[in-house]
Chains A and B, each alone.
Chain A
Amino acid sequence: MQNMTNDNIMLKMQNIHKSFGSLEVLKGIDLSVAKGDVLAIIGPSGSGKSTMLRCINRLEEIDSGSIEIKGRMLVRETADGEAEYVDEAESRDVLSCTGMVFQQFNLFPHMTVLQNLLEAPVQVKKRSAAEVRPEAEELLRKVGLFDKRDCYPGRLSGGQQQRVAIARALAMNPDIMLFDEPTSALDPELTGEVLKTMRELAAEHMTMVVVTHEMAFAREAASHVMFMADGVIVEQGSPGEFFASPKQERTIAFLQNML
């Protein structure tokens, strides 16, 4: 997050506020992510980290603040402090460079693995299935599931489903990948394969924002770590300094609990 030139900034969030009813879950979040950054966001449940992630691609709408993605405005703050979103078509266009992986995978159960990957490139980008198919198969090889291409998701293990979900997001050639607790719904023995896929993605310099409880992933694969609690960013830094010498009391207590 240091030395960022403007064209290097993939994501910029300023002064984000968000409430659900009377409960304020985000209390002024500022965040910048540069190209190739792997930002791991950690924190106790209810800290607002998933909500923050979901605000990036408009699964949740913010109350005030501004969000820019690759230099394009998604939502700006008006003079009286209200959030003002761009129109639906522009929003879709701005967000077309983002991909998301969910805790519950959310694969399309009525389509085979390969059809899951083809769906968006064919329907959204209007490309021909014949043209997309080799790319999709290559992605499936990459996540090690080429031989499962004709299976329905219901036949796969959770870890396999999540790797398909990653491949499905990648099939749209995103520049930023958002991960919402991608291993939290998995049996412990299945988290490894998903984390391995994510590590490989990080090694290819994909820009990633990852909400996670996996401290090992944050420590080893992330370029930046951010600790959130009660809707604010408590502390952030490189994984080295963050884990070796956390400064805030809340961070220290949290890390002690996790290890």
Chain B
Amino acid sequence: MDNLLHTIMLMLEGTQITLEIFCITLVLSLPIGLLAALGRISDVKPLSLLMEFYVWVMRGTPLMLQLLFVYFALPMVGIMLSDLAAALLAFTLNYAAYFAEIFRAGIQSIGRGQYEAAKTLGMTYPQTMRRIIIPQMLRHVLPPISNETINLVKDTSLIYILAMNDLLRVARTIVQREFDMTPFVVAGVFYLIMTFVLTWAFKRLEAHYAKYDQ
């Protein structure tokens, strides 16, 4: 019993790392993804092409490779990052690319009539995006954003290759040391709790936005 409690305490520490990576990545990658989406649909061709290239690279290579690249390759060109910063950089760039695609699809799902109405009322393009298009888009993209966010919780386990003691790595260490599978079960429960909270939060958000939709 004491042993189990000790195991859980160790794993809570690992969960802290997991949550840290998760929260910071989410807070950074959502706005960056939105900016990337706006760049992608912009009339400025070089910007649009650059964003297309960025999304292509980030979606077209494994997240694991991106993590290793940031961790091992950047120091070779003199950029020294802490383990945490390296992980955050890779996760943020990767998730921002996925969010950018979701936001872009969301923006393009808003009908031409909304732009025309805003234009005939004298609104500029930035005003139209900020006040009319983006608020409506956010409501449409909640389900896919929710999906990606839950993926992110699980993807954080990839940082074990950077030797960071996240939830899964702590569990594995204990399992290997004591030949007891309980930590894996506990880890599974921890992940389920985190994704449950997220699912609940997104449901609340969807309900909030649904009020003008009936």
Contacts and interface: CB of A to CB of B under 8 A. Distances in A.
Contacts of A106: 113-114, 116-117
A154 B212 contact: yes
A102 B117 contact: yes
B176 interface: no
A172 B123 CA distance: 11
A140 to B, nearest CB: 17
Given A95-B120, A104-B113, A172-B122, 13 more contacts: A57-B119, A57-B120, A99-B120, A106-B116, A108-B136, A109-B136, A119-B121, A123-B131, A124-B123, A124-B127, A152-B213, A172-B121, A178-B120
Contacts of A92: 122, 124
Interface of A: 57, 59, 92, 95-96, 98-100, 102, 104, 106-111, 119-120, 123-125, 152-155, 165, 168-169, 172, 178
B213 A109 contact: yes
Question: What are the 3 closest A-B residue pairs judged by CB atoms, nearest first?
Answer: A120-B121, A152-B212, A106-B117
Nearest to A153: B212
Interface in B19-52: none
Nearest to A59: B116
A123 B116 contact: no
B21 to A, nearest CB: 33
A98 B122 CA distance: 9
Contacts of B131: 119, 123
Nearest to A122: B131
Given A92-B124, A110-B135, A154 B213 contact: yes
B211 interface: yes
21 contacts: A57-B120, A92-B124, A100-B117, A102-B116, A106-B113, A106-B117, A107-B117, A108-B136, A109-B213, A110-B212, A111-B212, A119-B131, A120-B121, A120-B122, A120-B123, A123-B123, A123-B127, A124-B122, A152-B212, A172-B122, A178-B120
Contacts of B211: 152
A211 to B, nearest CB: 14
B213 A98 contact: no
B120 A98 contact: yes
B192 to A, nearest CB: 34
Contacts of B122: 92, 95-96, 120, 124-125, 172
Contacts of A111: 212
B154 interface: no
A108 to B, nearest CB: 6
B164 interface: no
Contacts of B124: 92
Given A59-B119, A119-B121, A109 B212 contact: yes
Given A106-B113, A106-B116, A169 B213 contact: no
Contacts of A168: 121
Interface in B78-125: 113-114, 116-117, 119-124
